[in-house]
Chains A and B, each alone.
Chain A
Amino acid sequence: MTVRADARPATVEHPDREPLSRDEMAQAVARDIPAGAYVNLGIGQPTRVADHLPDEKHIVLHTENGMLGMGPRALGDAVDPDLVNAGKVPVTELPGASYFHHADSFAMMRGGHLDVCVLGAFQVSQHGDLANWHTGAPDAIPAVGGAMDLAVGARDVFVMMTLFAKDGSSKLVEALTYPVTALACVSRVYTEYAVLDVGADGVTVRETYGTTVEALRERLPVALRNLGDGTH
């Protein structure tokens, strides 16, 4: 592990450990969500983040089908078919929860009131463009749900994804080849090998796991900066 001694933020490399597991990725996201934040966790992997949010951070979960203050998954007698999350999984309500209709729910999002949303992705571009709704396959039935609304709405959009697709190609790309969900919306990407910031300045590596920035430069089709390099 390499840590610079100066006080400026610097990229941290962990070359000698394993890449992050899915739960460790969820933990890393949870760690970066500020106390008191209003947060939407997308369907799939991002829902794991909820397991790592400590009560004392008082984070309020939003679900776009009309609720703030969503609690954990409902089990047994607590299941109410009228109380589900965006993935249509039965959930519970926490003290202080509220319900609202769909137009209010998406106004909350689009209006910039949500602090963070966490989404999965097929691809993220170096400038933060997101592709996560459609593979573009000609026989696929298109289905967008709230993906485009979430991506443009939250103040910070975090993406959780594996860094490489099954065919070995990088999912962090210079320019999207999958259909766009939203442009210039992603601020940070959590993968098993690295946590990276994306945006107008391109890609900045915050941390690496089981690899180094140099090794990632060999495998990724985008320029990588270290934290603390140049202008930020």
Chain B
Amino acid sequence: MQVVDPETAVADVADGSTVLIGGFGTAGMPFTLVDALVRHGARDLTVVSNNAGNGDTGLAALLAAGQVRKMICSFPRQPDSYVFDALYRDGRIELEVVPQGNLAERMRAAGAGIGGFFTPTGYGTMLAEGKETRTIDGRGYVLEAPLRGDVALIAARRADTLGNLVFHKTARNFGPVMATAATTTIAEVDDVVEAGEIDPEAVVTPGIFVDRVVALGAEQRVAAREASSA
């Protein structure tokens, strides 16, 4: 595990990568890492995130820069998702809508080495069209595939020098699952403490899942978030 600056953290993200981006709306959105990815300029990305950007910052800025070929998300349409909406209506971005629980479980499966799973969610709906189904104990299920990322960008409250993470309230959301599902996981955190300073019983994401950490300082995280809501 390395503690690095934002530019270094995303320097090897290749064109055409699948990027998992944490957050539920702006809660848990790794603004600093996404901004670094905008400056880095990687293109033709497939982005997996619950929403499709809010306002003009974070994921919305990445979309506005034309770096994203495809969005995989559960809920693209938001009161302030005008960047995505315009791209979609102009036919300049692909969209795969996935029920929120299936989105999380597909990444969980990828991270846990599971080759797919049967879920009742979506059975009998247009989102299951063309997918294998099975009746198990009298109930209909749909086969869903694992969803793996080349890189995951997540936000957490704190890391230690081994990459163990703790989160903050509902900003946790997709972070721990995405951390397991990517080849390279990068976390932006408020602060980094010495190994041993996080109670082992309180670790949410063990460091084995975390490759790089960017330490922001709480002030910077709050500033990034406030810029996003301005």
Contact = CB atoms under 8 A, between A and B. Distances in A.
A82 interface: yes
B170 A84 contact: yes
A97 to B, nearest CB: 9
B30 interface: no
Contacts of A93: 169
Max count, chain A CB within 10 A of own CB: residue among B104, B121, B167, B170: B170
Contacts of B97: 142-144
A33 interface: no
A152 B120 contact: yes
B170 A149 contact: no
A107 B120 CA distance: 12
A88 B126 contact: no
B160 to A, nearest CB: 19
B101 A82 contact: no
Contact of B172 (A101, A106, A139): A101
B126 A110 contact: no
A198 to B, nearest CB: 16
Interface stretch (A116-124, A167-175, A179-187): A179-187
Contacts of A84: 24-25, 27, 170
A65 B75 contact: no
Contacts of A106: 100-101, 104-105
Interface string A139-179: 10111111111001100000000000000000000000001
Interface stretch (B40-48, B59-67, B173-181): B173-181
A64 interface: yes
Contact of A103 (B50, B107, B229): B107
A65 B75 CA distance: 13
Overall SS of chain B's interface: mixed
A88 B104 contact: no
A187 B76 CA distance: 29
A180 B124 contact: yes
Which one of B74, B98, B167, B173 has the highest number of Cβ atoms from chain A below 10 Å of its Cβ?
B173
A23 B104 CA distance: 34
A65 B177 contact: no
A180 B100 contact: no
Interface string B123-148: 11111000000000000100000000
A109 interface: yes
Residue among A106, A153, A181 with max Cβ neighbours from chain B (10 Å): A106
A141 B105 contact: no
Contacts of A80: 169
Contact of B28 (A67, A82, A100, A181): A82
B225 to A, nearest CB: 6
A146 B124 contact: no
A142 B95 contact: yes
Contacts of A102: 24, 50, 100-101, 103-104, 173-174, 177
Contacts of A83: 27, 169-170
A101 B167 CA distance: 10
Contacts of B126: 134, 179-180
Interface of A: 63-67, 80-84, 88, 93, 99-103, 105-107, 109-110, 134, 139, 141-149, 152-153, 179-183
15 contacts: A65-B170, A66-B170, A66-B173, A80-B169, A82-B171, A84-B170, A88-B24, A105-B101, A106-B100, A143-B74, A144-B74, A144-B75, A145-B99, A146-B99, A183-B124
